[in-house]
Structure 1
Amino acid sequence: MKYYLCKYIPPRADFLATMSADEQQWMKQHGAFLDALLNEGKVVAHGPVMDPAGGYGVSLYQIADDQDIQAITSEDPIVKNGAGHYEHHPMLHLKARG
């Protein structure tokens, strides 16, 4: 297994407060995308970070060795629609409750 901390970087610092109607729809699709990966066991946890310098999203992934994290996150609807991108940070291991 491989483990990653993935950081969703929105297109602007005030993104959460200034989303257009399209961006709001893509953000809902983004949440559903991550929830589906959570149900599949590929995502361990995900959620928004309310940083005063600008919010962003964090997700923790646990994926098979033959899977590509960039290929997975590139399918996120918010990224596919050009509203931000991901940073991928490999982790040595991941321990979680439950």
Structure 2
Amino acid sequence: MKYYLCKYIPPRADFLATMSAAEKQWMKQHGAFLDDLLAKGQIVAHGPVTDPRGGYGVSLYQIPDDLDIEAVTSEDPVVKNGAGHYEHYPMMHLKARG
């Protein structure tokens, strides 16, 4: 298994306050996409981060060795629609409750 902290970077610092109707729809799809990966066991946790400099999202991934993290996150609807991108940070291991 491989482990990653992935940071979703929105297209602008005030994104959450200024989303267009299309961006709001993509964000709903983004949440469903992440929840699906959570149900499949590829994500351990995910959620938004409030930062005075601009919010972002964080996900902790646990994926099989044969999956490429960039290929996985490139399927996120917000990324597919050009509304932000991910930064990927490999982790040595991941321990979680449960």
**Structures share fold, TM-score greater than 0.5:** yes
Summarize the alignment of residues 62-81 of structure 1 with structure 2, pairs less than 5 Å apart.
62-81=62-81
CA RMSD in angstroms comes to: 0.2
Q: 1: CA distance between counterparts of 2:13 and 2:65?
A: 34
Amino acid at match of 2:41: G
Could you tell me which runs of 5 or more consecutive residues in structure 1 were left unpaired when the two chains were aligned. Answer: none
Amino acid at match of 1:9: I
Amino acid at match of 1:26: W
| Identical pairs, percent | 84
1:25 Cα deviation (Å)?
A: 0.1
Name the structure 2 match of 1:32. 32
Give the alignment's TM-score, normalised by structure 2. 1.00
Q: What secondary structure sits across from 1:30 in the alignment?
A: helix
Summarize the alignment of residues 1-98 of structure 1 with structure 2, pairs less than 5 Å apart.
1-98=1-98
Amino acid at match of 2:19: M
Q: 2: CA distance between counterparts of 1:52 and 1:9?
A: 14
Could you tell me which runs of 5 or more consecutive residues in structure 2 were left unpaired when the two chains were aligned. Answer: none
4+ long deviations beyond 6 Å: none
